[in-house]
Chains A and B, each alone.
Chain A
Amino acid sequence: MHSNNQKTHKWWDRWPFLLTVLAFAMLLLAWDLLARFSGWSAQVFPGPIPVFISLGELITNGTLLKHTVASLFRITVGFYLAVLLGLPLGILLGRHKTFNALCNPIIQFLRPISPIAWIPLAMLWFGIGDQPAIFLIFLSSFFPLVVSTTISVNSINPVFFQVAANFNFTRLETITKIIIPAITPATITAFRISLSIAWLVVVAAEMIAVRSGLGYLILDSRNALQMDYVMAGMIVIGFIGLLLDFIMRRMGRIESTSWYRLEI
Chain B
Amino acid sequence: MGHIIINSVSKEYRNRRKEIRKKNNCETPYKSTIPVLDNINLEINDGEMVCILGPSGCGKSTLLRIIAGFEQASSGSIIIDGACVEQPSSNNIFVFQDNGLLPWMTVWENVELGLRNMKDARSRAEKVAEQIEIVELEGFEYHYPHQLSGGMQRRTELARALAVNPNVTIMDEPFSGLDFMTHMKMREEVVNMHNFTGKTTLVVTHDIDDALIMGDRIVVMDGRPATVQLNLQLDFPRPRDFQKIPELNKLRKQIFLMQGVSYAV
Contacts and interface: CB of A to CB of B under 8 A. Distances in A.
A167 B90 CA distance: 5
A68 to B, nearest CB: 37
B104 A182 contact: yes
A178 B89 CA distance: 17
Nearest to A261: B146
Interface in B156-188: 164
Contacts of A184: 104
A168 B92 CA distance: 11
B144 interface: yes
Interface stretch (A15-23, A83-91, A157-165): A157-165
A166 B169 CA distance: 11
Given A166-B68, A167-B164, A259 B90 contact: no
B99 interface: yes
Contacts of A178: 102
A262 B147 contact: yes
Nearest to B166: A166
A196 to B, nearest CB: 26
A262 B146 CA distance: 7
Interface in A142-193: 157, 159-160, 162-163, 165-168, 177-178, 181-182, 184
Contacts of A108: none
Contact of A166 (B94, B103, B147): B94
B147 A162 contact: no
Of B99, B102, B164, most buried by chain A (CB within 10 Å of CB) is: B102
Which DSSP category, helix, strand, loop or mixed, fits chain B's interface?
loop
| Size bracket, chain A contacts | 20 to 34
Contacts of A259: 103-104, 144-146
A136 to B, nearest CB: 35
Interface string B84-95: 000111101110
B110 to A, nearest CB: 9
A263 B94 contact: no
A262 B70 CA distance: 30
Interface in B37-94: 68-70, 87-90, 92-94
A163 B96 contact: yes
A41 interface: no
A165 to B, nearest CB: 4
B90 A163 contact: no
A263 B146 contact: yes
A114 interface: no
A160 B98 CA distance: 11
Interface in A23-77: none
A260 to B, nearest CB: 8
B230 to A, nearest CB: 29
Nearest to B89: A168
Interface in B91-123: 92-94, 96, 99-100, 102-105, 113-114
A111 B198 CA distance: 58
Of B92, B104, B145, most buried by chain A (CB within 10 Å of CB) is: B104
A62 to B, nearest CB: 46
Contacts of B144: 258-259, 262
B90 A157 contact: no
11 contacts: A159-B99, A159-B100, A162-B96, A163-B96, A163-B102, A165-B69, A166-B92, A181-B102, A182-B104, A260-B104, A263-B103
* Pairs of residues from A and B, 3 with the lowest C-beta to C-beta distance, nearest first: A181-B104, A165-B88, A263-B146
Interface of A: 157, 159-160, 162-163, 165-168, 177-178, 181-182, 184, 256, 258-260, 262-263
